[in-house]
Structure 1
Amino acid sequence: MNERFDRRMVLGTALAAVLAGATLTLTTPAQAQLVRTDVNIGVRLEPPHLDPTGGAAAAIDEITYANIFEGLTRIDRNGEVGPWLAESWDVSEDGLTYTFRLRSGVTFHDGTEFDSADAKFALDRARGEFSTNAQKQLFAGIDTIEAVDPTTLKVTLTKPNGAFLFNLGWGDAAMVAEETAVSNTSKPIGTGPFKFVQWVQGDRIELAKNPEYWGEPATLDKATFKIIGDPAAELAALMAGDIDAFPNFQATENLPMIETDPRFTVAVGSTEGETILAMNNKKGPLADKRVRQAISHAVDRQAVIDGAMFGNGTPIGTHFAPHHPAYVDLTGTYPLDLDKAKALLAEAGYPDGFKATIKLPPPTYARRGGELIASDLKKIGVELVIVPLEWAQWLSEVFKGKDFDFTIVSHTEPMDINIYGRKDYYFQYDSTAFDEVMARLDTTADQEARYELLGQAQRIITEDAVNVYLFQLAKAGVWASGLKGMWVNAPIQANDLTGVYWE
């Protein structure tokens, strides 16, 4: 074959690819490589449904946040709050009234226009009497909502709330339309850069690029979230090339090996995930603070981190992220001390210990950690029966039904220490002192004063041994080396694909 014919072949191939809409990179005169515009993301848990405004499972936001649904404000990869569907806002001098200017030209995936009436509906629905929003408390301080005109929304609070704009950036505050809100659980309709395509139960959820997106369009044309529950299967899928990325890789014992493979990028970052041994504060022996303190003295936190997470995790002593400036290091409050633990149990009337159940959701940290903690507590006479639950069962029995003694879970919501003020929350803590601190926090805008109050709140729940604070969940991400734009840290529950592309 002569040189002239070779050149014509290459040019013809390039022209055909361009006409087909493909992005072409020529590596040699006789070789061409197409840049991919699809991605296969591996996720550990299948969400119970796909409406972020109607469920507590992090697995919902991990697929829908920023991809399908958007809010008035956005929490970015650095944990900072910025504009989203509200392009700007004004706050009254008394801190009570927020006037949002909404973006024009925004449409939902079904083609209907987004305006202030939709925003009012979404917020009223989230805070309404029959709301199923898992974070309904975020909206409790709203007094009135007024759709002034199609692009102006006025929200008035009952009292100033320094965290209000941050709260509106949660997935629980996503904007939904009245016409499609009910069906968002199975056929989500949002305003985001990706549209929902299909959900094959137990296997995958597929998204496609939204060609009518109001903002900067996504680079990817297609994204598939593959549900892979077994850590060993995660590794096999990664090595076989079936999965391009695991934003939260569970088989962390394999990270050293993967790091040596040039095909992959390994990025270990931080999350907002306080991993706790939660205790039912109103059930049996655990209703006694001395018993909870005994449990806290009996658990070897570092052994749990090493055994369940292969060393990936930061010990914590309270329900607060260590990377936050307001964090108070209380890890020394309950040092490992079996004699102290036994003495506290005896003082509480349980010299021989007691029997209880520990209900464990699917994540590896829970299943592995539960076995280690059961071994720890056996040393002080507390016999735990391990009950593995699937995610939907855990939400029904533990989170909603409060039918448990112990459980292990990571609370990945940002700045969520306020959950300890909810009397009906699953671990059923009730403290007047804590409530008073949080009430002052709600009306305090000065940053240093807020940090001081947050420190007081941390000390109260640690002193009361509400739960055993184990570790801050690490985010071990693994993805193909040519995939760019993945989040290293997780300041919010999200696998945001808006900036992801292949190089």
Structure 2
Amino acid sequence: MKKNAKTTGLHQTRRQLLATGLAAAAVPILGARQTFANTPTQGGTLRLGTGHGSTSDSMDPALNTSAFITLLSGAFANRLTEIDPNGEITPELAESWEGSENGKVWHFKLRQGVTFHNGKTMDADDVIATLNAHRGEESQSSVKALANQINEITKISASEIKIELTGANADYPLLLSAGAFAIMPLVDGELQTEAGIGTGGYILERIDMGVKAVLRKNPAYFKENAAFFDAVEINIINDPSARQNALLTGRVDVIDQVTPKTADLLARRPGVRLVEVAGSLHYTFPMLTNTAPFDDNNVRLALKYGCNRTEMVEKVLRGHGTLGNDHPIPVTDRYFNADLEQRQFDPDKAKFHLKEAGLDSLEVQLTASESIWIGALEAVQLYSERSKGAGLNIIPKKVPNDGYWSNVWMKEPWSAAYWSGRATPDWMFTAAYSADSSWNDTFWAHDRFNELLVKGRSELDESVRAGIYHEMQQIVSDEGGTVIPMFANHIMSVSDKIGVPDKVGGDWELDGGRAIERWWYTGN
């Protein structure tokens, strides 16, 4: 029995997959999942201004540490599966899939007749080579921990593959929707990871890293009701004021990362409108737990209790978000642990944990840049000021925006960062907290946590699985290496010239990173 992936929500899909033999069927016409207040029109140019991107970015989706590359690769490439605006898993380059052994073995049938921008027909060899590029000890891929769950990939035919995992994972097709898993062409035995060639709705014409990318419509795109623009310009404008000014002066049509301070004012400006979506985006202050003094959990707890997260939500987010509790699972997730006590600003508890660490006070440096996320420097300053009464002397360190992800993140002992979150707790925990993840940005390792992570993937009893993820949230909150003060809404502003679907995805910036494919030009 096969289940139509079009008609079920993300979590409902998982339950029904388990009940029907871990199977999902193809959607006849991709793009039909969207609903529109007005019929999208073909044509026009999208000029987008984004607050992400730097000269150190790589075209290789596997090495992506920038939302700019996620956005770009979402325009020129596709993955096996996709998460649609409603949070549903839908087929993309995979036409259908079926699992067995509680999700340890997966068969994928590939969409036929799809061509890369270089004219090559996409087939099983391209998919296998792409997935294998993320695996192994030498891999630097951001999804290495996900890919290393694969034990073996077998080519059944040009349009069918079998993936055998090292252990059961009932969510594995969903994980293959990760941006880093964009399918690249295999040419003369070499995977073209940095050529900017994919199967997507737009063809990359030119790129100037840290500045701009230009794309044109792919006339042979396999999706219907998608990729409406004739051309696309992605402009990197890291300064929030400059980005907003570019929108108001008509230089761009869409901007992301609207500052909470100016959101309400911008909403009242004629000719533009706000698009705001609550999701799993969360702002973090990761500490390197393999480096003193952050190798002491009492120090980490002191810093967590020294953070006035309520004030940050009020003053930095201006209410456009919610409190964080030092773990990455949002309140909207079905596995959110509602029984976990919300951590509050408590100078006395901070002092207690400092004393437990053998310290009367603590002086540490917290590194951030202006554009790492909107209000990052303001948040660091608030953190520094309020924590002084807790025996903490947090010294803000401002660094340049360009090269932050390559020069600061996972290198400075304590820094600002953010995560857009992931569609399931397993995905989020695997990507950022598992001991073997290349994106474990605190270098944190916890035996019980990693044991539960593996156990949760194959657990079919929903109540037992919920208990596993509840315990994992408790462990990360109490023993993890990152302070997570708040979850932020995605705030974008759009010219009246741009049409937006009724439902916008919140799993990543700009409609799940797919605004270029899903939005359209109205000509107003």
Q: Show the 5 A alignment for 1:212-291.
A: 212-216=220-224, 218-246=227-255, 248-291=256-299
Q: Does 1:417 align with 2:424?
A: no
| Equivalent-residue separation in structure 1 for 2:47 and 2:345 (angstroms) | 43
| Equivalent-residue separation in structure 2 for 1:89 and 1:127 (angstroms) | 21
Name the structure 2 match of 1:25.
none
Letter in 1 for 2:53: E
| Equivalent-residue separation in structure 2 for 1:494 and 1:388 (angstroms) | 28
Letter in 1 for 2:46: V
Name the structure 2 match of 1:21.
none
Name the structure 2 match of 1:500.
519
Following TM superposition, by how much is the alpha carbon of 1:73 offset from its aligned partner in structure 2, in angstroms? 0.8
Mean Cα deviation higher: 166-175 or 406-415: 406-415
Give secondary structure in 1 for the equivalent of 2:78.
Answer: coil
| Equivalent-residue separation in structure 2 for 1:310 and 1:331 (angstroms) | 25
Q: Show the 5 A alignment for 1:274-423.
A: 274-317=282-325, 318-329=327-338, 332-351=341-360, 353-361=361-369, 362-363=371-372, 364-390=374-400, 393-399=403-409, 402-414=410-422, 415=424, 416-418=428-430, 419-422=432-435
Name the structure 2 match of 1:488.
504
Name the structure 2 match of 1:31.
none
Deviation per residue, 1:340-370 (Å, 9 max, x gap): 212221232111x222221214322322222
Following TM superposition, by how much is the alpha carbon of 1:266 offset from its aligned partner in structure 2, in angstroms? 1.0
8 Å CA contact 1:322, 1:472 repeated in 2: no
Mean Cα deviation higher: 149-158 or 440-449: 440-449
Identity of aligned residues (%): 23
| Equivalent-residue separation in structure 2 for 1:397 and 1:443 (angstroms) | 37
Deviation per residue, 1:244-287 (Å, 9 max, x gap): 111x2332212212222341221211232222221222222222
Letter in 1 for 2:518: G
Deviation per residue, 1:366-401 (Å, 9 max, x gap): 2222222122233333323333334664333444xx
| Equivalent-residue separation in structure 1 for 2:464 and 2:153 (angstroms) | 29
8 Å CA contact 1:296, 1:465 repeated in 2: no
Name the structure 2 match of 1:149.
157
8 Å CA contact 2:282, 2:487 repeated in 1: yes
Q: Does 1:462 align with 2:477?
A: yes
Following TM superposition, by how much is the alpha carbon of 1:113 offset from its aligned partner in structure 2, in angstroms? 1.0
Letter in 1 for 2:429: I
Letter in 2 for 1:417: F
Give secondary structure in 1 for the equivalent of 2:294.
Answer: helix
Of the candidates 65, 69, 73, which is equivalent to residue 64 of structure 1? 73
| Equivalent-residue separation in structure 2 for 1:299 and 1:75 (angstroms) | 34
Cα distance change, pair 157–296 in 1 and its aligned pair in 2 (3 A): same
CA RMSD in angstroms comes to: 2.3
Of the candidates 70, 73, 79, which is equivalent to residue 81 of structure 2? 73
Mean Cα deviation higher: 227-236 or 402-411: 402-411
Give secondary structure in 2 for the equivalent of 1:271.
Answer: coil
Following TM superposition, by how much is the alpha carbon of 1:466 offset from its aligned partner in structure 2, in angstroms? 2.8
8 Å CA contact 1:161, 1:445 repeated in 2: no
Name the structure 1 match of 2:123.
115
8 Å CA contact 2:43, 2:230 repeated in 1: no
Deviation per residue, 1:54-86 (Å, 9 max, x gap): 223333112222x11111111112222111111
Cα distance change, pair 166–331 in 1 and its aligned pair in 2 (3 A): same
Letter in 2 for 1:227: I
Mean Cα deviation higher: 480-489 or 222-231: 480-489
Q: Does 1:426 align with 2:426?
A: no
| Equivalent-residue separation in structure 1 for 2:230 and 2:466 (angstroms) | 43
Give secondary structure in 1 for the equivalent of 2:61.
Answer: coil
| Equivalent-residue separation in structure 2 for 1:347 and 1:132 (angstroms) | 38
| Equivalent-residue separation in structure 1 for 2:99 and 2:240 (angstroms) | 48
Give secondary structure in 2 for the equivalent of 1:79.
Answer: coil
Following TM superposition, by how much is the alpha carbon of 1:240 offset from its aligned partner in structure 2, in angstroms? 0.7
8 Å CA contact 2:81, 2:91 repeated in 1: yes
Name the structure 1 match of 2:176.
168
Cα distance change, pair 483–227 in 1 and its aligned pair in 2 (3 A): same
Following TM superposition, by how much is the alpha carbon of 1:36 offset from its aligned partner in structure 2, in angstroms? 5.6
* TM-score, scaled to structure 1: 0.86
Name the structure 1 match of 2:489.
474
Give secondary structure in 2 for the equivalent of 1:478.
Answer: strand
Cα distance change, pair 276–365 in 1 and its aligned pair in 2 (3 A): same
Name the structure 2 match of 1:52.
61
| Equivalent-residue separation in structure 1 for 2:447 and 2:359 (angstroms) | 27
Name the structure 1 match of 2:29.
none
| Equivalent-residue separation in structure 1 for 2:136 and 2:449 (angstroms) | 26
Letter in 2 for 1:384: I
Name the structure 1 match of 2:46.
39
| Equivalent-residue separation in structure 2 for 1:89 and 1:470 (angstroms) | 39
| Equivalent-residue separation in structure 2 for 1:439 and 1:385 (angstroms) | 38
8 Å CA contact 1:121, 1:178 repeated in 2: yes
8 Å CA contact 2:286, 2:482 repeated in 1: yes
- Which structure: larger Rg? 1
| Equivalent-residue separation in structure 1 for 2:460 and 2:384 (angstroms) | 43
Q: Identify unmatched segments of 5+ residues in structure 1.
A: 1-33
Deviation per residue, 1:306-363 (Å, 9 max, x gap): 3322221111212212211111247744311112212221232111x22222121432
Following TM superposition, by how much is the alpha carbon of 1:107 offset from its aligned partner in structure 2, in angstroms? 0.7
Q: Identify unmatched segments of 5+ residues in structure 2.
A: 1-40
Give secondary structure in 1 for the equivalent of 2:315.
Answer: helix
Of the candidates 96, 108, 111, which is equivalent to residue 103 of structure 1? 111
Deviation per residue, 1:461-482 (Å, 9 max, x gap): 1121532221112100110124
Following TM superposition, by how much is the alpha carbon of 1:458 offset from its aligned partner in structure 2, in angstroms? 0.3
Give secondary structure in 1 for the equivalent of 2:415.
Answer: strand
8 Å CA contact 1:90, 1:99 repeated in 2: yes
Cα distance change, pair 465–150 in 1 and its aligned pair in 2 (3 A): closer
| Equivalent-residue separation in structure 1 for 2:287 and 2:44 (angstroms) | 46
| Equivalent-residue separation in structure 1 for 2:339 and 2:282 (angstroms) | 14
**Across the two proteins, how many residue pairs are aligned to each other?**
464
Following TM superposition, by how much is the alpha carbon of 1:440 offset from its aligned partner in structure 2, in angstroms? 1.0
* TM-score, scaled to structure 2: 0.83
